[in-house]
Amino acid sequence: MDKTPTSGIKFYITTPIYYVNASPHIGHAYTTIIADAVARFKRFKGDEVFFLTGTDEHGEKIKKAALAAGKNTQDFVDEVSLNFSRLWEKIGVRYDYFIRTTDASHRQAVQKAIKILADKGDIYKSTYHSLYCVPCEAFWTDTQVKDAGNLCPDCKRPVETIEEENYFFKLSQYEPWLKQYLKDNPGFVRPKIRHNEVMGFLDNNKLQDLCISRPKTRVGWGIDFPLDNNYIVYVWFDALLNYISALGFGGDEKKFKKWWPADIQFMAKDILRHHAIFWPIMLKALDLPMPKAIFAHGWWKIGEEKISKSKGNIVNPLDLIKDIGVDGMRYFLLREVTLGLDGNYNWTAVVNRVNSDLANDLGNLVYRTLNMAEKYEQGKVNPSHTGIPGIFKEIFESMQTKYIALMDDYDFSAALESIFAFTSVMNKYVEDTKPWNLAKEKKEEEIRNFLYALLEGIRIIAIYLAPVIPQTAASIMRQLGLPETFDFRDAVWAKYKSYSIKKEAPLFPRIET
């Protein structure tokens, strides 16, 4: 647990809002855990954080899912939305606000945004002709569909031809501005490969205006279009605005000004274009500042297939945590793959990662140290020397500098690696020191100093691990007999001069396959 903000820095962080046509899977958990780890990390630095997540509840796809479940649409979305918020609670996601696009305040914000754009002359009515994929809620050009063998380029299912009167947002008008903006701000779309992808797309395609309404007769589930009673708002236009409606845009201007622009917005690469093209243009048209960065991470796949509900290859986080625990799952997801790359999900990788890092390296270090403290010192460690052992110095200092910089850069995997490099040195220290021999020789002072160095090291790595595996960090603090409230200012050597420990069961039992 972190303390009250002290840095004077505000940090606003978002996840996508997830569709409620089905319950959450490991892919949704991944992005949300990423954002949670960043939020916790920033809080430990003393920043004031606003962490937003939520659910995307409108559109034809949702209506169809409710129908298929034999439920009233509102009841259905209430139920599925709850599956998301309950899962987040279960896996330690500490968000500040959970937005639902069926909230009245969100509806008002969306309607206000459309009125502002209409007053500016950025919205017009025209005939709309397109190829549309219902499951993906995506429109495609003739060429895109043709290139994909007359199927949806994303999910490879048949598309529908649509021709109707609709309202359009003048997206194309902002194309030169967007190109220049992306050129001037190469760190806006992260990682670099996604920046290049968006630039490539803009170089090879002319932006079309965005159709932002749907006739009520065809899609009856959405926000009323404020300019015409016969229409509702296109679900993506409605959804993207959640990032500002959640802050009070159009209602609570003070709160909105306090938090906008976002510092980082996370999503996977499937919705890169919506966030790197539509979203900045919508903000520009509304005269609002751009988010500082958007980060499109990779996909978890099984074999060559992206994990997704439409492919039917999902991994349910509730099942996974039964096998490896909440922190086992959080650790695996953030350690296994460098943020931005795709990850291959398989049971062998899960077991290896949890057993080798968490059970063997960390769990064993903590358990054997506390065991020795009980055995040799009856749990009370009062050293004569509190300095850092020479063998720790270099690796400890390198961990401290690397960890903060890597976490600030969202490189969780390398940040965790830097912690485990220190853990290995501590395990080696135990083997090299051979405390059992010291005990035989009755070198009590040496044993006390040796144990103290390990306990200090363990305490500091627990602080650094806390953004990713918070329950484990809290358990370590309890076992060290220390408060569960801390922040990064506590990660200094010899903050505590003695220990009075309370050993519990091992942190991570080995998973037997």
Q: Does 28 help bind ligand ME8 (rule: CB under 6 A)?
A: yes
Interface stretch with ligand ME8, choices 26-34, 119-127, 391-399, 419-427 (CB under 6 A): 26-34
The beta strand positions in 203-244, using DSSP E, are 210-211, 213-215, 231-233
What is the pattern of x (binds ligand ME8, CB under 6 A) and - over residues 482-511? ------------------------------
Interface stretch with ligand ME8, choices 303-311, 361-369, 375-383, 405-413 (CB under 6 A): 303-311
Q: Does 294 help bind ligand ME8 (rule: CB under 6 A)?
A: no
SS (H, E, C) 241-290: CHHHHCCCCCCCHHHHHHHCCCCEEEEEHHHHHHHHHHHHHHHHHCCCCC
- Which residues from 255-284 bind ligand ME8, rule CB under 6 A? 267-268, 270-271
Q: Does 29 help bind ligand ME8 (rule: CB under 6 A)?
A: no
Q: For residue 313, what are its two tokens?
A: 């290859």
Q: How far is the CB of 306 from ligand ME8 (least distance, A)?
A: 5
Q: Is residue 167 helix, strand or coil?
A: strand
Contacts with 282 (C-beta within 8 Å, 6 or more apart), sequence order:
113, 169, 237, 240, 241
Q: How far is CA 230 from CA 120, 153, 237, 246, in A?
A: 22, 31, 17, 27
Q: Does 36 help bind ligand ME8 (rule: CB under 6 A)?
A: no
Amino acid in the structure at residue 241: L
Distance CA 340, CA 324 (A): 24
Distance CA 82, CA 356 (A): 35
> Residue from 11, 23, 31, 53 that binds ligand ME8 (CB under 6 A)?
31
Interface stretch with ligand ME8, choices 199-207, 237-245, 420-428, 478-486 (CB under 6 A): 237-245
Q: How far is the CB of 34 from ligand ME8 (least distance, A)?
A: 9
Q: Does 307 help bind ligand ME8 (rule: CB under 6 A)?
A: yes
Q: How far is CA 247 from CA 101, 276, 281, 475, in A?
A: 13, 21, 19, 34
Q: Does 364 help bind ligand ME8 (rule: CB under 6 A)?
A: no
Q: How many residues bind ligand ME8 (CB under 6 A)?
A: 21
Shorter beta-carbon distance to ligand ME8: residue 273 or 368:
273
Q: Does 57 help bind ligand ME8 (rule: CB under 6 A)?
A: no
Distance CA 37, CA 470 (A): 9
Q: Does 299 help bind ligand ME8 (rule: CB under 6 A)?
A: yes
Nearest position to ligand ME8, beta carbon: 27
Q: Give the residue ranges of DSSP H helices in 409-468.
A: 412-433, 435-440, 444-465
Place of tokens 């490991």: 26
- Which chain residues interact with ligand ME8 by CB under 6 A? 16-19, 27-28, 30-31, 56, 239-240, 242, 267-268, 270-271, 299-300, 306-308
